[in-house]
Structure 1
Amino acid sequence: PRYRYERVPGEQRMRIPGPVQAPPMGPRPTGNGGYRTNTTRVERVTTIKQDDGGAPYQPGAPVPGNGSPQQQQQQQHHDHQGSTSHTPPGRHRHPRTPRRTPAGSPGGYVSPDRGREKRRQLPAFCFTLCCILFWLAVVVVGVAVLTVYLYYRPQPPKLRVTDASLNAGYVDELTVPGGPARGLALNADLTVLVAITSPNTKVKMVLWYMQLDLYFEGHRIGTSTVLPAPLFEEPRTYALRTVDFVVSEAPLSREDAIAWRNGTVAGGPVKLKLVGKFHTQLNFGRWLPYKYWVYPRCTLWMDPPPNGGLVRARC
């Protein structure tokens, strides 16, 4: 049959005059000059399982959903009587059908991936909480330190050279008894009067250890300890200390020896440097001490010995 098309507004639909059926199949050739026909009867097979409340299909048995409405109603009534005849009174038998419960509701099925995600979320939450607490502690400590600093205004001790005297100084050959000369050496005697000042206004200071080193042309030629120690200083106070440096056979290079001779012979000045090393403690109240090291520096310009006085000092 030919099909006739009609135009429907907005779309095109195909109208078929009758139900579509497969064309009938005739006899098929067998290959040996004859024909064969299919006379085998195909039984209906059902896929209903015993767990779903059904039974395997049996030939001749009525199939649910087929037949007239009266036959279906009779079959349902018969099944209901058969099910209630074997059920204890007060209890009803219901077909076991799978129920789907939302994953978030209690008693629902939880997939392994969801459980794995929950186990991963706990360490991540703990790590985030630790980071937050750590940074909060850092902020609190920083604010406390800033508050203490702004209130007390702590400052390190100051070193100032009040007076100095170069009593002796000359360059000699560095020798070993019974051996040849092994280079040049410096011998000198220097006395320095220093003032150690506490510039703080609200903090008490304690100097547990004080040491001064003497340098010439960048090389250390002597060291001395400042006594007595420890030194307790109140705010806005100072203490005077006299330090003696006795330099004996300090090795010098030829360039340093020439610089010393030029300074002393030409009438000066001789340039020396003092470097301090103070172990300082600042007391912020009774229960908050703070200890640290301070390294003050001073540069001295001296007249030539034997009566070398202090020309200028810068600390």
Structure 2
Amino acid sequence: MFPLPPPPHMEINLAGKENMSTPLNPGAKKTGSSPFSIMGTPRSMWMATPRAIFGRSRATQIMLHQPRKTTPVTWCVAIVCLIFSLLLIFFGIATLIIFLAVKPRTPLFDIPNASLSTVYFDSPEYFNGNFNFVANFTNPNKKIDVQFEHAEVDLFFFDKLIATASLQPFHQRRGEVRLQSVQLISSLVLLPKNLAVRLQNQVQRNRIMYNIRGTFKVRANVGTVHYSYWLHGRCQLEMTGPPYGVLLARRCITKR
């Protein structure tokens, strides 16, 4: 076996560049450019580029991660939102506790008695009548007083309004029952021809169907706390004919 030739003599200067004193190809001409200048960039610049990029990215990260100071306005808004949220939670819990302790119930509207004294026609379509009934208002609550601030009662024949009456506001204590007489007078009410014929036929058969609709605005008082809501009463009545018409049957419902 032949011994390997000695490696070429290399000189390293202070700038860290390698100087090949003995070229690998003695016949090749020396050129002033490095093999790394193919891309047009010297070797020293190519080796320094990652350090520069790393330094710039590190400085950018430091600038991006610098915490911003919270302004006083932001603190004030956050404190106000926190207080508002706590108040909402407090009032919600208080309302739930009051509701469970009081157990509010809806007042009831009923018609235990009614009379029909007059039904006649001035012409085939103009109707006159006189209808009276007793309204029963019941407050079933054991811990709540109610105030009827607005009360209106309407009389219908099928879907046609034929009389209306307004009641004076009144107060009901817990568990109280109130009876009130109501008179509904119809004077020259124009009925559609088909409804006029139906009413005349019912009078002849001695069975008249009326509908009562009551609309009430109720205020409930629980100590110093009060709230209002609308109450709707519906009653379907079956009466005998005038002049001594009496109540034969009824069906009443009350809902909010």
Matched, 1:151 2:151: no
Paired with 1:211 and 1:189, the residues of 2 have a C-alpha distance of 17
Question: In 1, distance between residues paired with 2:226 and 2:161?
Answer: 33
Q: 1:141, 1:27 → 2: CA distance?
A: 94
Hey, what's the Cα distance between the residues in 2 that align with 1:154 and 1:244?
31
Q: Which runs of 5+ in 2 are unaligned?
A: 9-19, 33-43, 45-54
- The structure 2 residue matched to 1:302, chosen from 239, 247, 256, is 239
Deviation (angstroms), 1:173: 2.8
- In the alignment, the residues of structure 1 paired with residue 3 and residue 225 of structure 2 have an alpha-carbon distance, to the nearest angstrom, of 104
Secondary structure of the equivalent of 1:295? strand
* 1:221 paired residue number: 162
Alpha carbons of structure 1 residues 3 and 170: separation in structure 2 relative to 1, 3 Å: farther
- Counterpart selection for 1:242 from 176, 181, 188: 181
Which residue identity is paired with 2:130?
Answer: D
Give the whole-Å Cα distance in 1 for the aligned partners of 2:3 and 2:164. 120
Q: Could you say which residue in structure 2 is the equivalent of 1:160?
A: 110
Residue 153 of structure 2 aligns with an amino acid whose one-letter code is: L
Distance 1:25 1:147 in 2: 103
Tell which has more relative contact order, 1 or 2 (C-alpha 8 A, sep 6+): 2
Pairing 1:314–2:255 present = no
Q: Please give the secondary structure, in 2, of the residue aligned with 1:201.
A: coil
Taking the aligned partners of 2:81 and 2:119, their CA distance within structure 1 comes to 63
Mapping 1:168-247, distance limit 5 Å: 168-173=118-123, 184-226=125-167, 229-247=168-186
Structure 1 residues 215-257: Cα deviation after superposition (integer angstroms, max 9, x where no partner): 111121111012xx33222111111111111101222112211
Corresponding residue of 1:280: 218
SS, match of residue 126 in structure 2: strand
Distance (Å, rounded) in 2 between the aligned partners of 1:138 and 1:219: 47
Q: Which amino acid aligns with 1:143?
A: I
The residue type equivalent to 2:173 in the other structure is E
**1:254 corresponding residue in structure 2:** 193
1:130 deviates by 7.2
> Residue 252 of structure 1 aligns to which amino acid in structure 2?
L
- The gaps in structure 1 that reach 5 residues or longer are 5-15, 29-37, 39-46, 48-98, 104-108, 175-183
Matched, 1:291 2:241: no
CA drift at 1:139? 3.8
Matches within 5 A, 1:66-145: 111=63, 113-114=64-65, 118=68, 136-145=86-95
TM-score by length of 1: 0.57
Number of matched pairs: 215
Query: SS where residue 235 of structure 1 aligns?
Result: coil
Please tell me whether Structure 1 or Structure 2 has the larger radius of gyration of its CA atoms. 1
Residues 218, 119 of structure 1: alpha-carbon distance in 2 compared, 3 angstrom cutoff: farther
Question: Secondary structure in 1 aligned to 2:100?
Answer: helix
- TM-score, scaled relative to structure 2: 0.69
Give the aligned partner of residue 203 of structure 2.
264
Q: Give the number of the structure whose residues are more often helix, by fraction.
A: 2
Cα pair distance change 1:17/1:151, threshold 3 Å: same
Q: CA deviation at 1:272?
A: 0.9
Corresponding residue number in structure 2 for 1:71 = none
Alpha-carbon distance in 1 for matches of 2:3, 2:88:
85
Aligned mates of 1:304, 1:234 — CA distance in 2: 38
State the Cα RMSD in Å: 3.9
Give distance in 2, aligned partners of 1:238 and 1:127.
52
Q: Distance in 1 between matches of 2:62 and 2:139?
A: 72
- Assess, with a 3 A threshold, how the Cα gap between structure 1 residues 18 and 224 changes in structure 2: closer, same or farther: same
Shift in Å, 1:214: 0.8
Q: How does 1:55-66 map to 2 (within 5 A)?
A: none
**Structure 1 residue aligned with 2:35:** none
Deviations 1:126-150 (A, max 9, x none): 9888777665544433322221111
